[in-house]
Chain A
C-alpha cells in the first residue's frame, strides 16, 4: 500500500475505515483531555465536571424533569421553535432572493438595505425581540428568522443569477410562457444553490436558538441551560450544549443527504 501523507495538502482520499479511525481519534483526544483536566483538580468539579459526571446528569435529566421538563421535551420544544422560525425564513427568503435575481430593479433597491441589516448578529436582536414580543413565541421566532434569513436570500439570488440565459432562450423558442419558464427553467436552475443555502441557513438558525431562548420562559435547550446557570449547575449547562451540538449535527446530516440527492439528480454542482 502506498504511504499516505496525512500532514500533506488536502485532497488525499481516505478509505472509510481511515475516516472513522481519525474521527474517533479526534473525539477520544477531546474527551481524554477533558477527563484529565477534570481529574487533575486544577478546576473545581462545580466549574468543570468530568465527562462521566455530565453523562450521569444527562441520564438523570432524561427521566427527571429539570426546569419543568424532561430532557427530550426541552429538545423537542427547541426543535419545534427552530422549525417554525426557519420555515418562515425559507418561505420569505427564497422567493425574495429569486425575484432579486430576476428583476434588476428589486435587486438595486433591496441589496444595499439587506447588506447593512445582515451584519446585525441574531443575538443583537434579542433586546428588540423582548421589547416587541415579551415572552411570547414571536421573540424566539424573530431571532431564528434573523439568523437563517440571509443565507436563504443569498443562495436563491445566486441560484437565479447562475441560470444560463441560453436555457431561458431555448425554452422561449419552444413556446414556453412566462410561467412555464419560471416553473421549468428558472426554479430548477436555481435549485442546487437553494439547497446548499437551506443547509447553511438551517445551521445558522439553529445556532441562533440559544440566543432566542434566553428570552423564553417555558422549555427548550437554551432555557434549560439558562436555568442550569442560575442554579450553578455546570453539568446541566454542558448537557444542554451537547444536545444543541447533536441535534444541529443531525439536521446538517439530513440536509446533506437532500443535497447529495439533488446533485446526483442534476448531475452537476451548483
Chain B
C-alpha cells in the first residue's frame, strides 16, 4: 500500500522581517497506488513544498500527509526523492552513489551489487561505473540519481523538476526513458514540473496549481487520452503533435493564465 494522501494541508512560512506567508492553502489530494501524478504550476505555487512534505523533508502547518496509511514523520527510503540538481555525492563513484541507500540499509554485498548492476545497465550507464559525477554530463548525472532512487525499490517516487537542469534534447530522451521505466516498474509517483508538455506526456493525472496563495486549481485525468491515442507506442514528438495533446496543452495553459491574471488583479 503506497497511496499518498494530503488531508486539509496548509503550509505557512515565517518571513524574515516578521509576518507570515501562506505558501499552501487548505489542500486535499489523493494519489492512488502506482499512479503517476504530475503537478504543474508557476514558481511559488507551493508544488515543491507539497512534494517535500510527502518526502518528510518539510511538515504541514496544519492537516496531515499520509503515505500507505501512515503519517509522514520524516524522510525514509520507501519514499525515494529525485532532486532537480541531482544531489549526487561528488566524492563517490557512480556505483557508490547508486548503492548508497542499499549500503545504509545494510543490504548483503552480493545482493546490492546485483541490483546496482541491473540499474547501471537499465539506465545506460555501463562503462561509467567507476566515474565520478563531475566526469559525467548533466543527463548522465540525472540517470544516476534516478537509478539511485529506483534501486531502493521504493513504494513512492518523488521527483522535483528532475529534468529542469537539462538541455532540451537530453530532456526529451530522459522523458522517453522515464516512461519506459515507469511502465516496466510502476510506482506511486509525484512529478513536479513547470513544463506543461512534460506533465501531459508523463502523467496519468495532471494537478494544476496556482499561487497567492498556493492551491490546486484543477485536476485533469490524462490516462484515457493516452490509452485512446496509443501514446505509449509513439515517439514523444508525434505524441506532442496529436490534436488531443495540443488541445490538452492549451486547456492547461488557459487555466494557468486565468489564475495568474486573477492573482495579479488581487
> Which residues on A are within 8 Å of B, measured CB to CB?
164, 166-167, 169-177, 180, 184-185, 188-189, 191, 265-268
* B101 and A174 contact, CB distance less than 8 A: yes
Minimum CB–CB distance from B141 to chain A (whole Å) comes to 12
| Residues of B with C-beta under 8 A to A170 | 81, 83, 87-89
Known: A166-B83, A180-B104. A173 touches B76 (CB 8 A): yes
Closest A residue to B56 using CB positions: A173
> Quick one: given A173-B77, A175-B101, A267-B134, are A166 and B89 in contact (CB under 8 Å)?
no
A172 touches which one: B75, B90, B134 (CB < 8 A)?
B75
Number of interface residues of B (CB under 8 A): 28
**Most chain B CB neighbours (cut-off 10 Å) among A174, A184, A265, A266:** A174
B231 within 8 A of A: no
CB distance A175 to B77 under 8 Å?
yes
Contact (Cβ within 8 A) B89 A185: yes
Given contacts A166-B83, A268-B134, contact A173 B90 (CB under 8 A): no
**A166 & B87 in contact (Cβ 8 Å cutoff):** yes
Confirm or deny: B105 has a beta carbon within 8 angstroms of a beta carbon on chain A: yes
Q: Which residues of B contact A268 (CB under 8 A)?
A: 90, 134
- The interface bits of chain B over 71-100 (1 if a CB of A lies within 8 angstroms of the residue's CB, else 0) are 000111101110101011111100000001
Per DSSP, chain A at the interface is helix
Give Cα distance in the complex from A12 to B80, angstroms: 48
> Do the beta carbons of B77 and A188 come within 8 Å of each other?
no
Contact B89–A174 (Cβ < 8 Å) = no
- Whether B100 pairs with A174 at a CB distance below 8 angstroms is yes
Known: A173-B75, A174-B148. A191 touches B105 (CB 8 A): no
B152: chain A residues at CB < 8 Å are: 174-175
Q: Is the CB of B91 within 8 A of A191?
A: yes
Hey, which chain A residues are within 8 Å of B148, CB to CB?
A: 174
Q: Mark B213-236, 1 if CB is under 8 A from A, else 0.
A: 000000000000000000000000
Which of the residues B74, B91, B105 comes within 8 Å of A266, measured between beta carbons? B91
| A175 adjacent to B83 (CB under 8 Å) | no
Whether A166 lies near B76 (C-beta < 8 A) is no
Q: Which residues of B contact A172 (CB under 8 A)?
A: 57, 74-75
9 contacts between A and B (CB under 8 A): A167-B89, A170-B81, A172-B57, A173-B55, A173-B56, A265-B132, A266-B90, A266-B132, A268-B134
Interface centre among B75, B79, B80, by most chain A C-beta atoms within 10 angstroms, is B75
Q: B137 contacts the other chain (Cβ, under 8 Å)?
A: no
CB pair A175 B134 closer than 8 Å: no
**Are B57 and A188 neighbours in the complex by a CB distance under 8 Å?**
no
- B88-131 interface with A by 8 A CB criterion: 88-92, 100-101, 104-105
